[in-house]
């Protein structure tokens, strides 16, 4: 698999152009539009020249307890995604793809891999509802909710743009958020690989063994 190398500065500059518009459960087909950044055909992984620093982020997990991102993922291969449970397509597909690929790993690697889903719609994604949604994907996934401003700042530090949820003329709740998955190395705890919306199960299945080791996919 070939990889693309881009700078963190370029990703942050493009963050405003890489938002996916996710509607509510009644969203019509075609409601999701993505302006791709850092990903093209036959290239799933974007290896960053300057890795992202892991955000200092403390939110609430699905058990209602504080969860410190840096402390609880230190030294572990970690995938982070910002989305929300009412998203009709992109978010569940992304998490499902990761869940399927994760099951192909040896048991020890499955246990070591951290997958963190941070909601962009904390008003509706309570710990209970977020937990129920993630258990349907993979019970080991970590779900985080909390103050929107805090979540937005953490996402932006990773070059991911998110906007507060709004309601359209038809009464559908719409959340704008970047569809990127950031992989953090267990060796450096830095976010060094980016995956876009079009990443498939096969892409993750092929790359995760290397992500587990902190190697370039």
Q: Is the pLDDT assigned to residue 90 strictly greater than 60?
A: yes
Which pairing describes strands 190-195 and 181-184: parallel, antiparallel, or unpaired?
A: antiparallel
Spatial separation of the C-alpha atoms in residues 61 and 41, rounded to whole Å: 36
CA distances from 39 to 57, 118, 185 (A): 27, 22, 20
Question: What is the residue-averaged pLDDT of the chain?
Answer: 85
Four-point Cα dihedral 58, 192, 15, 39, nearest 10: -140
Highest mean pLDDT among 8-12, 33-37, 161-165, 208-212: 208-212
Per-residue pLDDT tens over the stretch 36-77 = 334 444 669 999 999 999 999 999 999 999 999 999 999 999
Percent of the chain scoring above 70 in pLDDT: 80
Q: Is the pLDDT assigned to residue 124 strictly greater than 80?
A: yes
Per-residue pLDDT tens over the stretch 7-40 = 444 444 444 335 665 643 333 322 222 223 344 4
| Helix H or strand E segment including 69 | helix 69-73
| Start-to-end CA span in the chain (Å) | 8
Q: Is the pLDDT assigned to residue 204 strictly greater than 70?
A: yes
């Amino acid at each position: 698999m070939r990889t693309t190398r881009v700078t963190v500065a370029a990703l942050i500059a493009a963050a405003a152009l890489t938002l996916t518009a996710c509607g509510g459960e009644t969203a019509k087909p075609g409601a999701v539009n993505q302006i791709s950044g850092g990903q093209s055909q036959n290239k799933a992984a974007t290896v960053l020249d300057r890795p992202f620093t892991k955000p200092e982020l403390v939110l609430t997990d699905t058990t209602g307890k504080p969860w410190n991102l840096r402390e609880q993922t230190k030294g572990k291969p970690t995938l982070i995604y910002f989305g929300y449970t009412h998203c009709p397509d992109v978010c569940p597909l992304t998490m499902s793809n990761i869940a399927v690929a994760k099951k192909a790993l040896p048991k020890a690697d499955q246990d070591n891999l951290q997958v963190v889903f941070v909601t962009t719609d904390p008003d509706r994604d309570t710990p209970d509802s977020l937990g129920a949604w993630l258990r349907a994907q993979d019970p080991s996934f970590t779900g985080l909710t909390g103050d929107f401003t805090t979540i937005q700042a953490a996402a932006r530090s990773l070059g991911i743009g998110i906007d507060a949820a709004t309601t359209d003329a038809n009464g559908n709740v719409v959340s704008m958020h970047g569809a990127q998955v950031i992989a953090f190395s267990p060796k450096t705890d830095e976010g060094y690989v980016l995956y876009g919306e079009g990443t498939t199960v096969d892409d993750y299945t092929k790359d995760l063994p290397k992500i587990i080791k902190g190697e370039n996919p």
